[in-house]
Copies of this chain bind each other. A is one copy, B any other.
Amino acid sequence: MEEKAFQDYYADDVSHCYGCGRLNDEGLHIKSFWDGEGSVARFTPKPCHMAAPGFVYGGVIASLIDCHGTGTAAAAAYRFENRGMDTEPKLRFVTASLKVDYLLPTPLGVELEARGKVKNIGSRKVSVEIDVMAAGKVCARGEVVAVRMPGAMKMSQKE
């Protein structure tokens, strides 16, 4: 049986994210997993996702960092509460701030590997550091400060 990604545990009403929502047919479907103490998301940009021919667009790298960051934050918050991602209440984080340093032009046409490490954790706020690698080199380094999704963003809590 295939391992479920962090994003596969999101509640249906908050699974439409363009970056990582399983219910967004046109989205990027970024998927994150634990890998030892850290987390990993592997993503291959489409040919159109270029900055210039041969290189990945920075906005797509930012999107990968963003969704891998919020996904890692959710997974880490379950761990912090010492319970599985299949338990209630469901946790969902959004990005309060995002920082990306673009270290090298990122080659297009290969799989990118985003590796996340939790830096700070509370039940409502999690900071995650993320390295994005391509062809064995760290091309970008990011940090996401993720916070619990406000109720106003959840369909289930709309009036």
CB pair B101 A100 closer than 8 Å:
no
Out of B55, B94, B101, name the residue touching A97 (CB < 8 Å).
B101
User: Which residues 6-49 in A have Cβ within 8 Å of B in the complex?
Assistant: 13-14, 16-19, 21, 24-27, 46, 48-49
Q: For residue A60, which residue of chain B has the nearest CB?
A: B18
User: Which residues 74-98 in A have Cβ within 8 Å of B in the complex?
Assistant: 94-98
Out of B18, B21, B97, B105, name the residue touching A152 (CB < 8 Å).
B105
* Alpha-carbon gap, A14 to B97, bound state (A): 29
Interface residue A153 (Cβ < 8 Å from any Cβ of B): yes
CB pair A17 B62 closer than 8 Å:
no
The total of chain A residues at the interface (CB under 8 A) is 44
Interface residue A50 (Cβ < 8 Å from any Cβ of B): yes
A96: chain B residues within 8 A (beta carbon):
101-102
16 pairs, CB–CB < 8 Å, chain A vs chain B: A13-B53, A16-B50, A16-B52, A17-B52, A18-B59, A19-B59, A25-B48, A57-B63, A58-B94, A58-B95, A59-B63, A59-B66, A62-B98, A95-B102, A99-B99, A105-B152
* Alpha-carbon gap, A33 to B49, bound state (A): 24
CB pair B18 A98 closer than 8 Å:
no
Q: For residue A26, which residue of chain B has the nearest CB?
A: B48
If A50-B17, A105-B150 touch, whether A66 touches B55 (CB-CB below 8 Å) is no
Besides the known contacts A16-B50, A54-B153, 17 further A-B residue pairs in the complex with CB atoms under 8 A apart = A14-B52, A16-B52, A17-B51, A17-B57, A18-B50, A18-B51, A18-B60, A27-B48, A51-B94, A53-B155, A55-B153, A59-B63, A63-B63, A94-B102, A98-B98, A99-B100, A105-B152
